[in-house]
Structures are given as C-alpha cells and as structure tokens.
Amino acid sequence: MANTEKVWHRKYSVSAGTRSLLEDLRRARRRGRSVSRQKYREAMEKAILEEESVGLGFANGTAILGGDIGFVSKALPPRAKLFVRRHELEHLLQTGSERNAEFSANFAAAKEYFWGGLQTIMFTIRYRARFFATKSRYVAYLWGEFKKYFLPFR
Ligand SMILES: [Zn+2]
C-alpha cells in the first residue's frame, strides 16, 4: 500500500546510515546496476519497521513513494512479512514513473519472496473477511484489490 500521508509517520525516523543506504540503492538503479538480494534485504530490515496492525488499519504495510521509511504489520506470518517488507521497500525506491506502483512493487517482491507472496494473499483473504457484513460485498472488494495489485495497467 502506498500512502501519500499518514500522520503517525512523523513519530518515527530512520538513521542517517539507513537514508544513505537507500540513496545508494536509488543511484545504482538509476545507473542500471543490479542490486543484490542481500543488499535489498539489509535495506528492508532497516527502513521497514514493524507496527501493530491496529496502527495500520487492515493494511499489511505502508510506505511513501520515494520516502525513507515504511511499515509492516506485526500480525503477518514470517514469510509474508518478508514479502511485504520487500514490497514496501520497493515503494521507497520507486521513481513515480511506474505504470502501476502496486503491481511493480509486487513483481519485485515476488521475484525474491514468491512463497511469502502466496502466504500474504492467503492471510489477507482470511483476515479481512471479518470487516465485511456480506459475502458479496467482500467479493466486490477483493475484485477491486485484485485489479489494484495484480494487473500491470490501471
Ligand atoms: Zn503497496
């Protein structure tokens, strides 16, 4: 999920070292250099912080496009957490030229954490059902989410 503004982002900050690590990754990508999975892993562990799910509503995570900090829900199972962390890190590294920022973040995360992606989908479908009064409303909502996260163009 890419949010443009969330008030509680202001409560947190990351170190100068983390900000410069993110800047290194952006520079490498601009120059067309490949970035190792280990480097992405290091960056996502530093820049994507765990947050109680209540602080995120029912989102699995959030990050500002091009920002320096993101969040992942504590409620997620371990592999899903890796996938969501990598997804949110991708938002921090995006330039705004992506056709569908959500699809492109999922694509990057699934290349490295495929099973985590499946676990995220299963967890999300089960977890969010309780917020909808009827099955048909929930199915309509899921269709909207599917279009948002899994189709390359919107
Ligand atoms: Zn997202």
Residues with CB under 5 A from ligand 1 (ion): 1-2, 102, 105
Q: How far is the centre of ligand 1, averaged over its atoms, from the C-alpha of 1 (Å)? A: 3
Q: How far is the centre of ligand 1, averaged over its atoms, from the C-alpha of 91 (Å)? A: 7
Residue bearing tokens 């993101």: 70
- SS3 call for 14: coil
Q: For residue 134, what pLDDT is reported?
A: 96
Q: How far is the centre of ligand 1, averaged over its atoms, from the C-alpha of 67 (Å)? A: 13
Band the pLDDT of 154: cuts 50, 70, 90.
low
pLDDT digits (tens, 9 = 90+) for 21-71: 999 999 999 999 999 999 999 999 999 999 876 567 788 999 989 999 999
Separation of alpha carbons 149 and 21, rounded Å: 27
pLDDT digits (tens, 9 = 90+) for 63-96: 989 999 999 999 999 999 999 999 999 999 999 9
Q: How far is the centre of ligand 1, averaged over its atoms, from the C-alpha of 20 (Å)? A: 22
Q: For residue 82, what pLDDT is reported?
A: 98
Q: How far is the centre of ligand 1, averaged over its atoms, from the C-alpha of 23 (Å)? A: 20
- Pairing type for strands 48-51 and 70-73 reads parallel
> What does pTM read for this prediction?
0.88
Band the pLDDT of 18: cuts 50, 70, 90.
very high
Instruction: Kindly state the percentage of the chain with pLDDT values over 70.
Output: 90
Separation of alpha carbons 91 and 87, rounded Å: 7
The total number of residues written for the chain in this structure: 154
Q: How far is the centre of ligand 1, averaged over its atoms, from the C-alpha of 134 (Å)? A: 26
Q: For residue 111, what pLDDT is reported?
A: 96
